[in-house]
Amino acid sequence: MPSDPAQGGITLRDLDDRPVTDLQGVGDKRAAALAKVDVRTILDLISYYPRRYLDRTREATIEALGVGEEGMVLVTVARVSARRTRNGRSLVEARVTDGTGSLSLTFFNQPWRERQLSEGTEAVVFGKMDRYRDKLQMTNPIVDLVGDRTGRIVAVYPQSESAGLQSWDLDGLVGEALRRVMLKRGFDDPLPTGVRDRYRLVDRATAYGGIHRPESMQEMAEARRRLVFDELLRIQLELVRRKVHLERSAGGIAHVCGGHDAHGDLVGAFHERLGFPLTGAQQRTIDEILSDLARPSPMHRLLQGDVGSGKTVVAVSALLVAVQGGHQGALMVPTAVLAEQHHLGIADLLAGLVVPDPGTLMGERPLRVELLTSGATAAERRRIVDGLEDGGVDILIGTHALIQEGVGFHSLGVIVIDEQHRFGVEQRAALREQGNAADPAIPDVLVMTATPIPRTAAMTVYGDLDVSVIDEMPPGRTPIRTDWTVDDGEVWEIVRDAVAAGHQAYVVCPLIDESEALEVRSAEETHGSLTAGVLSDLRVGLLHGRVGPAEKEETMRLFRSGALDVLVATTVIEVGVDVPNATVMVVLDAARFGIAQLHQLRGRVGRGSEQSRCLLVGEAATPDAEERLEALVRTTDGFELAEVDLDLRGEGTIMGERQKGRNDLRLASLRRDREWVEAAREVAIELVGDGDGLERHQTLSDEVALLLGGDEVDYLLKS
């Protein structure tokens, strides 16, 4: 087991205060080159981790490596030449030897290889051995110039052609930095010994030595494990600390969740009139939310539920808790189409419910649900704003228009944010801080997503939120059949058959690129070709982001009423659109969409008892695209798809908003290190869960401030 660190060792803050120019041989020119790869301090340098390792105990030889086999060979460049091919591509050829034989290295469109592989250069190449014109060759192999490193395990650093930095340059600088640290006072290790012992983690000095200069791959793995834990722990400490602080310091509303509230038991009345029983998962999540709402500290909860799992009923239950206590509820959604859909559905669900009103003859009035979007007229907006301020509006549904200047609530009690990943941190905070004329208490917040998030990713990105999961579908839903086809030939026959049977269909057009104009043109062109061709005798509507609010609502009204057979649309219909009679979803050029988006689009059908189909159309240009489409065909389980997505695209899909600068996860992977995310969470709760923060762990606290400071924390905190 590692021993206790010496007191007074060098901290990460100390290393961050030391510029790289403190190292021998780093002048202004070398410092400028390092700055191009964001290395400015000694801390940046020792955190510039190797991208791979060469295990020289597993080297092959040219003679031993068979044709068709992949392998790593240490070679010396005998000669190099460059020319242009007949089609104008650059071609660099290097003849290399290793004492057992020779081969050619061929590089297309990499003209800089001629400079890199000068005669006499030693390099390690990794690639597939081929035979061309009876000579051995590798095409576009991985090349690592390792200088005079002769150890068994050689660290290979990310190199930069533009900065003029080679792996051995960085290796030498890192080695000197580590020697200086150890010659002085060694590393301070802020991780409690008990935690290190429990998880069998090496001390910090051993970790930095082992990640940069390992004697074995086992030593490297142990070093990586410790540094991964450090990265994840810092994030969890900040999330848990903020969560605990908010719970202890912020004044919330202690809602009365039983049947003796000022406005009666609206939640119970709502459930009774649903006409169907709640699923066990819905009841469990409602109970979790009610438990939060009964406490005097503000709720911050994430509600995950697959497409069609019944999140709306749970959300309305939370909003009604606010209303039955004399407060107001707000539901913010990302698009006007979704806001209008929610308003229609929720107003219908709550029709007939009443709340007390001493100003009326009967002493009560109908519960009032209003819609506010940017398309509202000045008169409509004034009427709604007046009702919010005097308490006449009980539940407000809308888009970002809810947080515009001039919109204020009488007593905002519960906020529900749907498809929360589409809102920025500032937008969510603005709604929470909208202000209550009658009560300064912070409203309770429930954020919802129908895009399931893998457990470890949710713990990392939404670690300041409590998480509820609806993991059960309502009975009576027929699973959606999904097919992937390259040719759309029989797709339109399936659409026509569905319409002939009295049903409807969606056709979603490809996302050509980030340009909305191109996306719209694609939708319009598709609509034109279908109405002039294979669907000419059907009633085909068009919906995209540039359609005006009135036309958009009219198109949706026609589709909902059955006056349109087919709706050609962009991803504006991705979330929230609910037309149970629609049984076919066609996604053109499906490989251009991500898994989560395809799963959301598929969820627009299968909302009734009839068998529904999702048809993914188009070729898959890459293996990843093919695997995405095959996963959609294989399963309708959003949580399983989320894990596939994480494996395919990495944590960039989850941590996207945080990828901005040195503070990102450098070694930790939410895919490979799932168990360490959970371990870091447990330790963070142990260290700060008592409400004292990190007062007894000042060095850890300083590291969190150093590496997760400023804007980084804003991106971490999703509430």
Query: What confidence tens digit (pLDDT) does each residue in 527-560 have?
Result: 999 999 999 999 999 988 777 777 888 888 899 9
Question: What does the pLDDT look like over 31-76, one tens digit per residue?
Answer: 999 999 889 999 999 999 998 887 777 778 999 998 998 888 889 9
Same domain, 534 and 622: yes
Question: What does the pLDDT look like over 7-21, one tens digit per residue?
Answer: 578 999 999 999 999
Q: At 616, which CATH number?
A: 3.40.50.300
Q: What is the pTM of this model?
A: 0.66
Question: What does the pLDDT look like over 652-708, one tens digit per residue?
Answer: 444 444 433 344 578 887 777 878 988 998 999 899 876 666 788 889 989 988 887
Q: What pLDDT is stored for residue 664 in this prediction?
A: 55
Band (pLDDT 50/70/90 cuts) for residue 439 is low
Same domain, 437 and 318: yes
Nearest one of 647, 653, 703 to 674, comparing CA atoms: 647
Same domain, 612 and 538: yes
Q: Kindly report the CA angle at 620 between 617 and 624, in degrees rounded to 5?
A: 130
Structural domain containing residue 42? 1-51+161-188
217 half-sphere exposure, CB direction, 13 A CA radius: 7
Same domain, 347 and 407: yes
Residue 194 lies in a domain: no
Q: What pLDDT is stored for residue 475 in this prediction?
A: 79
Q: In whole angstroms, what is the distance from residue 18 CA to residue 699 CA?
A: 18
Same domain, 536 and 515: yes
Average pLDDT, the chain: 84
Residue 4 lies in a domain: yes
pLDDT higher than threshold 60 for residue 262: no
Same domain, 379 and 523: no
Q: What pLDDT is stored for residue 15 in this prediction?
A: 95
Q: In whole angstroms, what is the distance from residue 526 CA to residue 588 CA?
A: 10
- DSSP states of 130-166: EEETTEEEEES-EEE--TT--SSEEEEPPPBTTTTB-
| 3-state SS class at 385 | helix
Same domain, 521 and 375: no
Same domain, 31 and 167: yes
Same domain, 138 and 165: no
Between 90 and 450, the higher pLDDT residue? 90
Spatial CB neighbours of 128, under 8 Å, sequence gap ≥ 6? 68, 69, 70, 138, 139, 141
pLDDT higher than threshold 80 for residue 709: no
Most confident of the following: 282-286, 424-428, 516-520: 282-286
Q: What pLDDT is stored for residue 660 in this prediction?
A: 36
Q: Which of 83-87, 250-254, 255-259, 291-295 has the lowest mean pLDDT?
A: 255-259
Q: In whole angstroms, what is the distance from residue 78 CA to residue 397 CA?
A: 72
Residue 298 lies in a domain: no
The percentage of the chain sitting over the pLDDT mark of 70, rounded to a whole number, equals 86
Average pLDDT over residues 616-628: 88
The total of structural domains in the chain comes to 4
Residue 499 lies in a domain: yes
pLDDT higher than threshold 60 for residue 148: no
CB 161 within 8 A of CB 102: no
Band (pLDDT 50/70/90 cuts) for residue 178 is very high
The percentage of the chain sitting over the pLDDT mark of 90, rounded to a whole number, equals 40
Region of 618 (left: φ > 0; alpha: ψ -120 to 50; beta: rest) is left
Same domain, 43 and 72: no
Q: Kindly report the CA angle at 258 between 255 and 264, in degrees rounded to 5?
A: 90
